[in-house]
Chain A
Amino acid sequence: MKKIWITAGVACALTLTGCGGGGTPAPKADAGATPAASSGAATPDMENGATITGKVSFDGKAPVMKTLDMSAVPACTAAHKTPAKSEEVVVDDKGDVKNAFVWIKSGLPADKTWQVPTSAVQITQEGCMYTPHVLALMAGQNLDIKNGDPTNHNIHPMPANNPEFNQSQPPGAGDIDHSFARQEVMVPVKCNIHPWMRAYIGVVNHPFFAVTGDDGTYSIKGLPPGTYTIEMWQEKYGTQDQQITVGAKDSKTQDFTIKG
């Protein structure tokens, strides 16, 4: 009986102190994962496909974003001429909303797989902020994480449907490459050293998505004819869904309005 307890104790200790953590876990293939680029995978038909463009606007008085308190880390403060503001809601004078994520939520054939781009999407830690604040990529596409600061960071994405990881990145360290195997809208990213640092990554298993720019506009191209649910996500205000039907070579507009 004593031996059983000792064995159980050792097993528990080994489990607790086991390998892993601190580094990037190797992505594992699973049933819900997007397959890697293959010859049978489709690409958007830019010639005959439809284009959806639109704008995300803010109706009402836009919230004033709070100033980030970087005073605990002088290297972060020194990187900004004027105190940096939170990027939770970025609205210009005309009411254009930056950093909204727009994607085709449903309507695409379920059995169709889409070619994963071989190019990586980049996120940089610059001035102790993630740039861009909101980004998107396909499931399986490479994410290239850079540290452009003279200070230490730890990149810590917190997905719900993909493996979580947390990795340190000192100044001058090489880029960290990572990919998310499964679709997930959105994956929050934080840095535990600088708690104001936040980013959001949209991971989609097809190429029909966009993030609004400074002028609040987006464009999704090469969409096959069909009826779709198009969704807009904003960090503070959540999601809005719209139905849209497009034919071949159609050019349609789908705007979204966030009410303040």
Chain B
Amino acid sequence: MVAGLCALALIVAGALVTSNDAALAVPDWPLNWGRLVPPLEGGIRFEFAHRVLALLSAVATTLLALWMQAREPRHWMRRLAWWTVAAVIAQALLGGAMVKLIDPKGLAIAHAAFAEICFGLLVAIVAGYYGGHGASHWVARLAILVLFAQAVLGAAARHLAMGIVPHIAGAVVAAGIAMWASLRTIVRHLDDGRYPRPALALLGFTALQIFSGVAAYAVRAAAVDDPQPMPLAVWTTVAHVALGAMILGAAIVLAMTEQES
């Protein structure tokens, strides 16, 4: 759970870095301005906080994997934990490569996409620990794929690799499938009270995400002539990114905890 929260905080920190245009405020890696702690001013604060959280996340994930190796009886859960460690390390290397190669768009999008994968894997571990098994209906599994694809489209738009239209079109599809998956579960399990919680979360987050997406777009459109990233534009976008990760997490929990009757 701690590792999962670390990963979510890391996604927020990463979104703050991108929104504040601070990705290259620290031009070296793995050191920071040639030392462990850089001068903490301007954009450096965002990038350094992101790096510190990345380190914490890597440590928490490794401790989780070690703990599961010792205590977890299910082989697939132990393997999942080590795959997560590998993904977190790969993600750190991707971040480093972005700095070294001066933020190529492809790597930036891959870094954003991999963040969702790392977070999703941690959510899957938590869901698995509390009894999830993964034998879900195909709609729930489809929702995970579509929501991930939508996060990638969002990252591509944010890093100016493509326009916003594919992300908006993707939002319609992703929201539709997420709602389908959640409503289907809610309707099927209204009586037992065990399964609707992740479905309700997925439905609620999706509704919020539609509003946050519209808000982020409207604020950015209004701020197009601003000479620098302003707090309102930054925070609406960061909230949109964080909610996107939470929706993906809810879809994973739903897919892992739903049981076909």
Is B27 touching A151 in the complex (CB atoms < 8 A)? Answer: no
Residues 89-127 of B at the A interface (beta carbon under 8 Å): 93-94, 96-97, 99-102
Across-interface contacts of A162 in B (CB, < 8 A) = none
Tell whether A190 pairs with B102 under 8 Å between CB atoms, given A16-B94, A69-B230, A168-B33.
Answer: no
Query: Which residues of A sit under 8 angstroms from B173, Cβ to Cβ?
Result: none
Report the minimum CB–CB distance from A39 to chain B (whole Å).
36
User: Are A195 and B97 in contact, with the CB atoms below 8 A?
Assistant: no
- Is there contact, CB below 8 Å, between A66 and B42? no
- Count chain A residues whose beta carbon lies closer than 8 angstroms to a beta carbon of B: 36
CB-based contact A192/B23 at 8 Å: yes
The residue among B26, B27, B97 with the most chain A CB atoms within 10 A of its own CB is: B27
Cβ distance A81 to chain B, nearest Cβ, rounded Å: 19
Q: Which residue of A lies closest to B101 (CB)?
A: A21
Count residues of B near A (Cβ-Cβ below 8 Å): 31
| Partner of A13 from B20, B93, B226 at Cβ < 8 Å | B93
Partner of B100, one of A22, A73, A192: A22
A18 touching B100 by the CB < 8 A rule? yes
Is B230's CB under 8 angstroms from A154's CB? no
Kindly state the separation between the CA atoms of A73 and B25 in the bound complex, as whole angstroms. 14
Determine which of A23, A69, A152, A164 lies in contact with B228 in the assembled complex, contact meaning CB atoms within 8 Å. A69
Nearest to A69 among chain B residues (CB) is B228
Is B97 touching A17 in the complex (CB atoms < 8 A)? Answer: yes
Distance (whole angstroms) from the CB of A12 to the closest CB of chain B? 8
Does A146 reach chain B (CB closer than 8 Å)? Answer: no
Rounded to whole angstroms, the CA-CA distance of A19 and B100 in the bound complex is: 7
CB distance from B99 to the nearest CB of A (A): 6
Given contacts A168-B33, A196-B227, contact A73 B42 (CB under 8 A): yes
B25 touches A192 (CB 8 A): yes
Contacts of A72 in B (CB 8 A): 41-42
Within 8 Å of chain A (Cβ to Cβ): is B163? no
List which A86-137 residues lie within 8 A (CB) of chain B. Answer: 86, 88
Q: How far is the CB of B96 from chain A (nearest CB, A)?
A: 6
Across the interface, A22 reaches (CB within 8 A) one of B27, B226, B227, namely B27
Most buried by B among A23, A75, A192: A192
Tell me which residues across on chain B come within 8 A of A198, comparing CB atoms: 227
Q: Which of B26, B94, B229 contacts A195 (CB 8 A)?
A: B229
A residues near B93, Cβ cutoff 8 Å: 13, 16-17
CA distance A69 to B44 in the complex (A): 17
List, in ascending order, chain A residues with CB within 8 A of B170's CB.
none
Known contacts A17-B100, A66-B226: A195-B27 contact under CB 8 Å: no
Given A21-B99, A66-B226, A168-B33, the answer on whether A152 and B39 have CB atoms closer than 8 Å is yes
A166 within 8 A of B: yes
The answer for the CA separation of A225 and B178 in the assembled complex, in Å, is 68
Alpha-carbon distance between A161 and B99 when the two chains are bound, in angstroms: 20
CB < 8 Å neighbour of A193 from B29, B41, B101, B227: B41
Q: Is the CB of A195 within 8 A of B100?
A: no
Contact A195 B43 (CB under 8 A): yes
Contacts of A229 in B (CB 8 A): none
Q: Give chain B residues whose Cβ lies under 8 Å from the Cβ of A68.
A: 227-228
Q: Does A194 touch B at the CB level, under 8 Å?
A: yes
- The reply to whether the CB of A252 lies closer than 8 angstroms to some CB of chain B is no
Residue of B nearest to A152 (CB): B39
B28 touching A168 by the CB < 8 A rule? yes
B25's nearest neighbour on chain A, judged by CB, is: A192
Contact of B42 among A15, A65, A168, A193 (CB under 8 A): A193
Q: Does B225 contact A (CB under 8 A)?
A: yes
Residues from 35 to 61 in B contacting A, C-beta threshold 8 Å:
39, 41-44, 47
* Alpha-carbon distance between A18 and B96 when the two chains are bound, in angstroms: 10
Q: Mark B9-21, 1 if CB is under 8 A from A, else 0.
A: 0000000000011
* A 60-75 to B, binary, CB cutoff 8 A, 1 in contact else 0: 0000011011001101
Given A13-B93, A170-B39: 10 more A-B contacts, CB < 8 Å: A16-B93, A21-B27, A21-B29, A21-B102, A22-B29, A72-B41, A72-B42, A152-B39, A156-B102, A170-B33
**A and B contact pairs by CB, cutoff 8 A, 6 listed:** A16-B97, A16-B100, A19-B100, A22-B27, A68-B228, A72-B42
Interface of B toward A, CB cutoff 8 Å: 20-29, 33, 39, 41-44, 47, 93-94, 96-97, 99-102, 225-230
